[in-house]
């Protein structure tokens, strides 16, 4: 009777040997060899970032789990209940699938059941607040159109205070700076594996932080590191002098507040007609970018100025029969500003004070659950700070709004 060998997981070489003993790559063992040796630094650094399981039944979701090298180490070093998600393109039609990998050397066989969906185009197949942690490693740079959907969905499925780990190549790495200086193109070649087979957009460290903050996370740790094997020389010298020239970004962040943006203006453009209406209350500075349409100026702390007409969209929970907005305006020498709140054929007009905020309420028919309610805020005239001698701001402004909500309450 043969005796099973035990893998030596106390050294880098032992971990590499253990991972390469599995048959995921079939007869193409050289592909597996290249993958593991290229990724081992990032895998080990990521493992060090993962917090211990906070409870016996703590759950961890690994997005893009295939080829399961991180998964194998998670099973050895952590006690999380693991769930997996992959995306292999439209050729896979079943939402739930499984893969089996084996190591003859160490007499191990693992069957991994996974959910199949596109993380930037589809909602995740999990309930709200169902995970303690999510691994989002080496995926961000492959996304083609909507990374904030992915981060917002990660936020949704995490428990309050749950963590996400994001790893991604650093756009500012020394090799990119060198190639640009030499007149070389730094974009990835087109891939025979399709749009997701290449790096479509890489990120700087500050962009990763902004992306997480806009999605409702607080960054707990961020590390810039050189993870790929290379000869010593100028790249190491330059990245040692400037840490943000390292080749990789590794980040641990925690869910702390609601996502405040679905289409952050620093990352998206031409998104006025694309929105994500999720709440019956819009609070400026918290979830406003999910719900506003045209006619708004940039956020100023906890409020936004309208133009002459501004759109906002609310999603009813069911039964609401009143729209309330908390609003103010600066008067000028022509007198106060009048604001009209519109919903379909219903409207109310009220003169705004010149300093204090007031609540304006509009009675409407009771709303059905899930109904999208389009509200129009309109002022009788706009003006600029410059035109009335209150500064150089030439924007045409109407009213300033802190929040707007659907409610059953009376004023």
The three-state (H, E, C) secondary structure of the chain, written as one string: CCCCCCCCCCCHHHHHHHHHCECCCCCCHHHHHHHHHHHHHHHHHHHHHCCCCCCCCCEEEEECCCCCHHHHHHHHHCCCEEEEEECCCCCCCCCEEEEEEEECCCCEEEEEEEEECCCCCCCCCCCCCCEEEEEEECCHHHCCCCHHHHHHHHHHHEEEEEEEEEEEEECCCHHHHHHHHCCCCCCCCCCCCCHHHCCCCCECHHHHHHHHHHCCEEEEEEEEECCCCCCCCHHHHHHHHCHHHCCEEEEEEEECCCCCCCCCCCCCCCCCCCCCCCCCEEECCCCHHHCECCCECCCECCEEEECCEEEEEEECCCCCCEEEEEEECCCECCECCEEEEEECCEEEEEECCCCCCEEEEEECCCCCCCCEEEEEEEECCCECCHHHCCCCCCCCECCEEEEEEEECCCC
Same fold, 12-255 and 281-407: no
Q: How much is the pLDDT for 231?
A: 47
Q: Where are the domains of the chain?
A: 12-255, 281-407
Q: How much is the pLDDT for 230?
A: 55
254-299 pLDDT, tens digit each: 999 988 777 787 898 877 666 778 889 999 988 887 788 889 998 8
Where the chain has pLDDT below 70, the residues are 1-4, 27, 229-242, 272-274, 331-334, 388-391, 410-411
Q: How much is the pLDDT for 1?
A: 43
Fold for the domain defined by 281-407: Jelly Rolls (2.60.120)
What is the CATH architecture assignment of 12-255?
3-Layer(aba) Sandwich (3.40)
pTM of the model: 0.75
Q: How much is the pLDDT for 17?
A: 95
């Amino acid at each position: 009777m043969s005796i099973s060998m035990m893998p030596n997981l106390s050294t880098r070489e032992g971990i590499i040997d253990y991972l390469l003993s599995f048959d995921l790559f079939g007869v193409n063992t050289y592909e597996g060899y290249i993958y593991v040796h290229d990724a081992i630094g990032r895998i080990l650094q990521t493992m060090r970032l993962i917090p211990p399981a906070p409870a016996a039944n703590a759950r961890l979701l690994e997005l893009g789990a295939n080829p399961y090298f991180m998964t194998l180490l998670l099973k050895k070093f952590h006690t999380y209940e693991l769930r997996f998600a992959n995306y292999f393109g439209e050729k896979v039609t079943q939402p739930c699938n499984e893969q089996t990998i084996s190591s003859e050397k160490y007499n191990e066989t693992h069957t991994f059941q996974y959910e199949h969906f596109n993380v930037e185009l589809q909602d995740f197949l999990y309930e709200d607040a169902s995970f303690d942690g999510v691994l989002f490693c080496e995926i961000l740079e492959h996304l083609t159109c909507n990374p904030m959907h992915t981060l917002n969905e990660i936020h949704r499925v995490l428990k309050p205070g749950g963590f996400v780990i994001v790893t991604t190549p650093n756009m500012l790495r020394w090799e990119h700076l060198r190639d640009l200086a030499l007149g070389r193109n730094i974009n990835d070649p087109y891939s025979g594996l399709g749009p997701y087979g290449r790096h479509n957009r890489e990120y700087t460290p500050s962009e990763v932080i902004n992306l997480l903050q806009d999605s409702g996370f607080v960054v707990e740790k961020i590390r810039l590191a050189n993870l790929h094997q290379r000869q010593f020389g100028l790249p190491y010298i330059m990245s040692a002098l400037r840490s943000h020239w390292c080749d990789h970004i590794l980040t641990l962040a925690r869910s702390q507040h609601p996502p405040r943006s679905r289409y952050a203006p620093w990352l998206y453009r031409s998104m006025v007609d694309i929105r994500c209406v999720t709440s019956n209350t819009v609070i400026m500075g918290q979830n406003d970018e999910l719900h506003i349409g045209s006619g708004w100026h940039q956020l100023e702390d906890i409020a936004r100025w309208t133009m002459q007409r501004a759109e906002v969209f609310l999603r009813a929970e069911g039964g609401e029969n009143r729209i309330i907005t908390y609003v103010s305006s600066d008067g000028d020498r022509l007198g106060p500003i009048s604001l009209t709140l519109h919903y379909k054929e219903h409207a109310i007009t009220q003169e705004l004070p010149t300093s204090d905020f007031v609540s304006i309420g509009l009675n409407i028919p009771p709303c059905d659950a899930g109904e999208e309610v389009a509200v129009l805020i309109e002022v009788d005239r706009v003006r600029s700070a410059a035109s009335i001698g209150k500064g150089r701001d030439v924007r045409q402004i109407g009213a300033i709004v802190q929040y707007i909500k659907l409610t059953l309450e009376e004023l």
